Chains A and B, each alone.
Chain A
Amino acid sequence: MSEGTNGIETLHPLEIRALRVFDRNPGMELNESQIKSEGGFEEGQERRAIELLKTRGMLVQTREIKDPVLQLTDFGRSQLEEGPLEARILELIPETGITQSEIREKPGLDPESVGPSVGTLKKLGLIDFHEGGLMTPVGNKGIGIGILRKTMELASEWTPIVILGGEVGEAGLKFVEEKSRKRGKGNALFSIKEKVERHYAATDSGRTAMAALKSSILTGDEITELTPDMLRTGSWKGRQFRKFNLGLSPPRVNVGRRHPYRVFLDGLKRKLTSLGFKEMRGSLTQPEFWNCDALYMPQFHSAREIHDIYMVKEPGYCDSAAEPFRSRVAAAHSCGGQTGSRGWGYEFDEKRSRRNLFRSHGTVLSARTLASGPDVPGKYFAVARCFRPDKVDATHAPDFFQIEGIVLGRDINFRTLLGLLKLFAVEIAKAPEIRFTPAYFPFTEPSVEVHMKHPVLGWTELGGAGIFRPEVTLPLGVSVPVIAWGLGIDRMAMMALGMNDIRDLFTRDLNRLRQSRMPVL
């Protein structure tokens, strides 16, 4: 498409028709109804054409006139053919006079309506009353009847009130006033509505398009929509297709899709399963035994204090953990038991280990897995929702996700632990440059923290890991070395989703959700 055609090939046939109306009236300002009648548009088509041309900048609205317009009510429309009752009654009044009761008896009239209509005729000065209830027409009754009928016809054509006076005079206007819809009065003939009439003129680019149209072969008969009918009859043959304007923004649609944060988590799960990890699941509430004791966190450990763990109100306690785990774990704490350790050296509180809490880390699922006869060699992971009492802010959600897991095997050692973390850094965080620093977790020894050089964030903690202490594995019946690992994913997720407030991961606002992109995985 060349510049000179001004995009006319994408004009809709309706637009072409509307432009031609302006072309036939050079330099003129036209209103909607003029465009409609001159362009031969069907109801509403002219509006669509005008809107499209306005969007293209080919037409511009010049004026907007709001006029009160006379219209017929539904009742009025039903009377249009017969003419108003007042005209029919006037017809029946001879120069010699007649009484109301005589008129009531005439066929085809609703006796109830005669009274009010006679009243209207009197108010309009079209009849006079005489002695004995006789009424006679005033002046030439034919003129009066004409005015009444004419008023009704004008109303059917939505005539502006300003024009009405010139056509039907004082009597007509009075008639409108009497028979307009008012409170408490049925059978009104007329209603007065405000009508907006907009005027438009062609712009320079509109004129350019008109000129281009003249020299083009566009006929306005181009096919807009290919229909099954056209295919059946072959009527599309030999006709042009209208070219579409590709610059228009498409209408908004709302569709179904998965939540972006869940898509991110799904991606991590997929990655881990592809690396040979099996998913672990478990309860959101756990006894302290599995959340803490089995992980060799001493009962006096600060991370077990009330301000670091959410306790369950009811049921506050559960049954004791199954044997032999209960006794072995208790022994590991108090004196080391059979683990070769001297233990923490305190009196283990069995009741405390039955206390229910909201799991504070995903490692609880690892402990449960160790106690349930895991595969050796085996790799496990969990995307676990965890709970900690933190003030909810940009970096703390009321509950959050941890990705944790274990690797069991005879060849597990500190170097394979580092190898695994390196694998995670490359495969999951896409950060080939990493460094390891010593760390502390009560359940692992050695413990390590892995930091990665993130392309955007710089050196960032990726996660923590270690080799489970024998005080953890042996009481749970596992005799091979076990790697325990955990990855911090909040920051990764926020990066992938372009967010800087953790609460946005769980946004409730559908408008914002609809705007959010899928994660960059």
Chain B
Amino acid sequence: MPTITAFKNDFEGLLGRGIAEPELQSLLGLCKAELKSMDEATGEMRIELTDTNRPDLWCIEGVARQMRAALGSGIGDYGFFGSPPGADRRIVVDPSLMGIRPFIAGFEAEGISVTSESLKGIIEVQEKLCEAYGRRRKSIAIGVYNSGKISWPVNYDAVNPEGWSFTPLGCAVPMTLREILQRHPKGVEYGGILAGLGEYPILYDAEGLTLSFPPIINSRDLGEVSVGDASLFVEATGTDQRQVIHALAIMAANMADRGGRITRCTVDYPFDTPLGRSVATPCDVAGHVDLDPALLSRSLGIEAGPEEIADALVRYGLRVERPGQALRVYPPPFRADYMHPCDAVEDFAISRGFAAFEPEMPSDFTVGGLSREADFEDAARELLAGFGFEETFSNVLTSTDALRSKMHIPPGGVVEIENAMSATFAAARDSIIPCLLDVESVSIKAAYPHRIFEVGEVCAIERKGGAVASATRVAAAALVADGRVSFSDLHSYLALLLHYLGADPVLAPCERPFLIPGRAAEILARGRKVGVMGEIHPAVLDDWGVKTPAAAFEIDLTALMAAVQSGTAAES
């Protein structure tokens, strides 16, 4: 979730009035935001935004704008979204970009006095949009330039990485695009986005001077913004046209809020795009929804008339038309989150304040209950605890080492994590006995005897025909560790447990690498294999660092439950 940093006096300037902390706290609810910190001395505040679908709020301009609407002074005038684009302000796209980074949008902003503070603000918004909304510049990258130096039109082209060079920001000498990716810090950081491409995007003006190498770095000649610059050119490039235009719309609205006069630019595509071949940007990304007052009332559990609804929506920065019974709701042009009338319902509720809604108990009668698995699990747990076993509780994630090599089981057959963060938690357990041995390995100082058990989910790989699937099963395992441990001690508990659960067990000899040969048994209940039991092999105990003999059993409760069920059915 994005967190932004801003200064209180800058914020109050955008808001149009002073604001005390308690009021700020409560108004931040409008933006689904929370004040994380406020430095009384410097006025620096950190605000966390939670709405990942409202990037227009990820900046101090957006937060202030949302509050202005609620305070009655309106969100501001964004009429430029509908004004004709500047005649010569054109961006020409080359066909070669189609498979590389096809989309671009841009505008010019005049009349902003660039101060060191506003520059900081511009960069902060730009970064938030590129990093969080643009997925680390993959789908959106934004560049800001001193437009006074640019000769129009601007060309968006793709070039050979070795065949083009310019001086990037932060450097003194020209470098080829290839060198930038290899040596420039931003090239190293973001170069991965261009991996595998034969040609790289480049933005240059009518004179052939480089503006930038999107999405990596601006040029030092045209792409450096300094305090005192009077007019700026802002562009966004990317892979998703709607996102590109949306991000640019937010940049434009922010600059308008700071006094900028926005001139739209026209992008000329040599190929078809969802918005056509000639696209004036920024453009309205919001659309509209038709809201039925009855739907709103039903959704919120209130009675609200059209006037009341319209009034609250306007106080949330929306424009409302009333062509008939339904309300036509227009979000501001830089909000792309409206997909369904329910979005307007929520905005109405936020505008009214959640405190205005009296909680009401749902009146429907329903029957509650645990799942059959849980009932069966709980029965097993209850019995084992009653037998004197202590219940342990482990994570499902563990290491393949614990499940295989430490159990002397050949590798394979484990559900592993593709993108594991550490080898310690890289696979889901397929058995609980390793978890119990893990407990034993760190509990050698706890007074013996140890009688422990765990009942819980395990992940098994199942093969049906040729297909491989992972299935979740419930297992119950118990382990006894003591100076003297015998197979028959544990056998008594097993027999009693299964008897009480409804299926007396039969043991059949088997071999398991982690059990002592001749002291390992497969557990059968009503003719089905439901588990395994035996004395743990000393070599396995050695590998776990367990110094005390141990015996264990593990039952597949999912299988046992099926066996018991089928038996009961047969008997009746």
A-B interaction: yes
What is the interface of chain A, defined by CB distance below 8 A to chain B? 252, 254-259, 261-262, 266, 269, 272-285, 300-303, 305-307, 310-316, 318-319, 336, 339-346, 356, 358, 375, 377-379, 385, 387, 389-392, 397-399, 407, 409, 411-416, 418-423, 435-440, 442, 445-448, 467, 469-471, 481, 505-506, 508-511, 513-514
Most chain B beta-carbon neighbours within 10 Å: one of A310, A319, A389, A409: A310
**CB-CB nearest in chain B for A415:** B301
Nearest Cβ in chain A — how far from B53, in angstroms? Answer: 6
**CB-CB nearest in chain A for B454:** A259
Segment of B10-18, B191-199, B361-369 in the binding face: B361-369
Q: A259-B392, A509-B442 are in contact. Are A266 and B378 (CB under 8 A)?
A: yes
Contacts of A252 in B (CB 8 A): 447
What is the interface of chain B, defined by CB distance below 8 A to chain A? 29-30, 32, 50-54, 132, 135, 139, 240, 242, 287, 298-302, 339-343, 345-346, 349-350, 354-355, 357-371, 373-374, 378, 381-382, 384-397, 415-422, 424-425, 428, 438-439, 442-443, 445-447, 449-452, 457, 459, 461, 467-472
CB<8 Å pairs between A and B, sample of 30: A259-B393, A273-B370, A276-B366, A279-B369, A281-B374, A283-B471, A283-B472, A284-B428, A285-B470, A311-B419, A312-B415, A312-B416, A314-B416, A336-B340, A341-B340, A343-B339, A344-B339, A377-B365, A385-B457, A387-B397, A392-B425, A409-B364, A411-B363, A414-B300, A415-B357, A418-B357, A437-B354, A438-B32, A506-B395, A508-B392
Contacts of B457 in A (CB 8 A): 284, 385
Partner of B300, one of A390, A413, A440: A413
Partner of B417, one of A257, A313, A315, A341: A313
CB distance B359 to A415 under 8 Å? yes
Contacts of A414 in B (CB 8 A): 299-301, 349, 357
CB distance A336 to B394 under 8 Å? no
CB distance B371 to A280 under 8 Å? yes
CB distance A302 to B132 under 8 Å? yes
CB distance A274 to B358 under 8 Å? no
| C-alpha gap A255/B388 in the complex (Å) | 5
Contacts of A315 in B (CB 8 A): 461, 467-470
CB distance B396 to A399 under 8 Å? yes
**CB-CB nearest in chain B for A381:** B368
Partner of B451, one of A256, A385, A439, A505: A256
CB distance A514 to B390 under 8 Å? yes
CB distance B365 to A276 under 8 Å? yes
| C-alpha gap A481/B362 in the complex (Å) | 12
CB distance B300 to A312 under 8 Å? no
Contacts of A399 in B (CB 8 A): 395-397
Contacts of B418 in A (CB 8 A): 310-313, 316
Q: A254-B390, A300-B135, A510-B450 are in contact. Are A469 and B300 (CB under 8 A)?
A: no
Contacts of A378 in B (CB 8 A): 366
Nearest Cβ in chain B — how far from A253, in angstroms? Answer: 10
Q: A276-B368, A312-B418, A375-B366 are in contact. Are A318 and B469 (CB under 8 A)?
A: yes
CB distance B417 to A411 under 8 Å? no
| C-alpha gap A470/B395 in the complex (Å) | 36
| C-alpha gap A300/B438 in the complex (Å) | 40
What 3 pairs across the A-B complex have the smallest Cβ distances? A377-B364, A415-B301, A413-B301
| C-alpha gap A65/B487 in the complex (Å) | 47
Contacts of A346 in B (CB 8 A): 240
Nearest Cβ in chain B — how far from A408, in angstroms? Answer: 9
CB distance A440 to B52 under 8 Å? yes
Most chain B beta-carbon neighbours within 10 Å: one of A312, A340, A385, A446: A446
CB distance A389 to B421 under 8 Å? yes
CB distance B359 to A421 under 8 Å? yes
CB distance A301 to B52 under 8 Å? yes
Contacts of A398 in B (CB 8 A): 395, 397, 424-425
| C-alpha gap A437/B364 in the complex (Å) | 26
CB distance A509 to B446 under 8 Å? yes
**CB-CB nearest in chain B for A359:** B472
| C-alpha gap A256/B461 in the complex (Å) | 33
CB distance A470 to B342 under 8 Å? yes
| C-alpha gap A397/B395 in the complex (Å) | 8
**CB-CB nearest in chain A for B456:** A385
**CB-CB nearest in chain B for A468:** B342
CB distance B381 to A258 under 8 Å? yes
**CB-CB nearest in chain B for A378:** B366
**CB-CB nearest in chain B for A265:** B393
Partner of A513, one of B32, B341, B390: B390
CB distance A312 to B470 under 8 Å? yes
Nearest Cβ in chain A — how far from B331, in angstroms? Answer: 12
CB distance B385 to A445 under 8 Å? no
Contacts of B471 in A (CB 8 A): 283
CB distance A279 to B391 under 8 Å? no
Q: A344-B339, A398-B397, A511-B445 are in contact. Are A256 and B362 (CB under 8 A)?
A: no
**CB-CB nearest in chain A for B336:** A345
CB distance A257 to B360 under 8 Å? no
CB distance B341 to A419 under 8 Å? no
Q: A266-B378, A416-B362 are in contact. Are A438 and B29 (CB under 8 A)?
A: yes
Nearest Cβ in chain A — how far from B404, in angstroms? Answer: 14
CB distance B451 to A508 under 8 Å? no
CB distance A256 to B374 under 8 Å? no
Nearest Cβ in chain A — how far from B132, in angstroms? Answer: 7
Q: A257-B391, A315-B461, A510-B452 are in contact. Are A438 and B366 (CB under 8 A)?
A: no
**CB-CB nearest in chain B for A382:** B371
| C-alpha gap A510/B394 in the complex (Å) | 12
**CB-CB nearest in chain B for A420:** B362
CB distance A283 to B470 under 8 Å? yes
CB distance B360 to A285 under 8 Å? no
Beyond A256-B451, A469-B340, A510-B446, 6 extra complex contacts between A and B, CB < 8 Å: A256-B386, A284-B472, A285-B415, A311-B417, A414-B357, A511-B443
Nearest Cβ in chain B — how far from A420, in angstroms? Answer: 6
Most chain A beta-carbon neighbours within 10 Å: one of B30, B382, B452: B452
Nearest Cβ in chain A — how far from B441, in angstroms? Answer: 8
CB distance B359 to A418 under 8 Å? yes
Q: A259-B392, A506-B395 are in contact. Are A341 and B366 (CB under 8 A)?
A: no
